[in-house]
Structures are given as C-alpha cells and as structure tokens.
C-alpha cells in the first residue's frame, strides 16, 4: 500500500514530539532518558524503519533522512549533557541547531511525500 499524506503527517508529529521532549529536558521539566536519543527507540526512527523503508528504501532521501535524524538525536544528547553539567544557557541556545536539523527533516519528508 503506497504511503499517504497521513503517513507523512504522522512522521511530522513524531518529530515535534522529540523537540518538545528535548525542550522539557532543557528546561528541567523531565529527566533525559537514554531512549530519547536512540535512533531505534525514537518514534520518528521507528517510523522510518517500519513505514518508510518498506515502501521507499531505495531512495537516497531515506538514507539522508536517517542521517539527519541521527545528527539531531546526537545534538540533543549533547545539549542534555550540557544541561546536566550546569551549562543551562549554552544547552538551550543549542536548540537552534536542533531546529535546523528539524527543518532539513521537514524538507526531506516533503520531497519523499511528493515522490510517493
């Protein structure tokens, strides 16, 4: 069954969920759980594996999407570590980089959606 716009909307929601959880960590609302930064446990990473790859694994944008997501997760983990070490403002300022990765992911999702 081909991917629908609903499938891509789910991916976008999963990305927003990660950013929201990371923001909660950097503002002291929740603890940074290791699963938050794991590609295999991240909801968008799981969506890529279970929904996107079975339909579009051969497309270069799929590999690029995984790479950008991994960079976003690694950056988020680094920011959480900075926060835990007391570098609050530095950690929060790093959200700009996470947003830049998020924009890249959005562009890749849009490209993949158009190709579907």
Dist. CA 28–CA 94, nearest whole Å: 15
Write down the pLDDT at residue 57: 84
Which of 43-70 are b and which e, b meaning 16 or more Cβ less than 10 Å from the residue's Cβ? ebbebbeeebbeebeebebbebbbebbe
Write down the pLDDT at residue 14: 97
3-state DSSP call for residue 43? Answer: helix
* pLDDT tens-place string over residues 42-85: 999 999 999 999 999 889 999 999 999 999 999 999 999 999 99
62 in Cβ contact with 56 (< 8 Å): yes
46 in Cβ contact with 17 (< 8 Å): no
Average pLDDT over residues 91-106: 98
105 in Cβ contact with 47 (< 8 Å): no
* CA distances for 8 relative to 71, 91, 115, angstroms: 20, 30, 12
């Amino acid at each position: 069954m081909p991917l629908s716009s609903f499938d891509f909307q789910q991916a976008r929601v999963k990305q927003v969920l990660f950013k929201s959880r990371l923001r909660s960590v950097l503002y002291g609302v929740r603890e940074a759980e290791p699963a938050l930064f794991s590609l295999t446990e991240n909801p968008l990473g799981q969506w890529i594996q279970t929904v996107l790859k079975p339909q579009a694994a051969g497309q270069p944008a799929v590999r690029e999407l995984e790479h950008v997501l991994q960079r976003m997760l690694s950056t988020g983990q680094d920011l959480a570590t900075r926060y835990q070490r007391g570098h609050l403002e530095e950690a929060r300022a790093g959200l700009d980089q996470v947003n830049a990765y998020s924009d890249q992911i959005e562009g890749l999702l849009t490209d993949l959606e158009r190709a579907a």
